[in-house]
Amino acid sequence: MPTRSEEYAGLSVAMITPLKNGQVDYDALREQVEFQVAAGTTCLCPVGTTGESPTLSHLEHQKVISVVTEAAAGRIKVMAGTGSNSTAEAIHLTKWAADAGADAALVVAPYYNKPTQEGFFLHYKAVAEAVDFPICVYNIPGRTGKNIEPATIIRMAQIPNITMVKEATGSMDQASQILAETDLTLLSGDDSLTLPLLAMGGRGVVSVVGNIIPQDVIALFAAFESGNIDEAKRWHHKLFPLCRDMLGLATNPIPIKAAMKLLGRDTGEVRMPMTPLGPDEEAKLRKTLTNYGLL
């Protein structure tokens, strides 16, 4: 059955926000856009969790969206991170993204203040009604402190421009229920669960490892789509150690930025309270990248 936002099937990349001497490096950001366009990536997701949105100022957040959208120039989709624990702020950021020319918004569940399920529903309804482009519900209870329950997401699916879910609960049951009862486009929010979610009807991934190996994530998706399950499994097993390290060595985006530094593609700088990888973790990461064939 075709899903509601089928044009977002495949690889979306959760972009890092490059930093240099404490400031956002907009030239490096534009280079990342070119890198992903050349790889054939479907969509860019700036200023999400990987983009360090919690420590960007409001002006930086807005400028990152504008710079990525401008650099994309219609060659690649842009799904901008516009969520907040304040509904008014989420509406403001989502309108900004729409005005800047983004194609969709990735709206994380309100964090820290832990709304009721009714609060979640009304929050997303208000954001969706403020704009006329697709909204992706980003459910990551490990970060936000509370799960948006499947019944609430099924209710949200009645709102026409809520068209996608970034499923980062790690719960196969939750994903199954959403897929069984809606036509929402479900995207994996965990790189290591992409293939299992595709097998259940998911349509792609918002990927962290896609920052460094977009072509391999695309190859996994293409193999699955063509019915070559053995090839898809081969890619899954190859990618797995890298996916594990990106989330296991330290909090995202610390490891992916460290990896990009080792590969000569970023300074590796993170903004406090995030701190760089320690020497032991960096040695493990270097070993994983070497085993993968990247170093």
Q: Which residues are catalytic?
A: 138, 166
In whole angstroms, give the CA distance from residue 69 to residue 72.
5
Residue with tokens 């509601």: 4
Angle at 63 between CA 209 and CA 138, to 5 degrees: 45
Neighbour tally for 225: CB within 10 Å? 13
In whole angstroms, give the CA distance from residue 45 to residue 31.
15
Structure tokens of 183?
Answer: 């036509």
Paired with 4 in beta bridges are none
In whole angstroms, give the CA distance from residue 157 to residue 168.
18
Residue with tokens 């948006």: 148
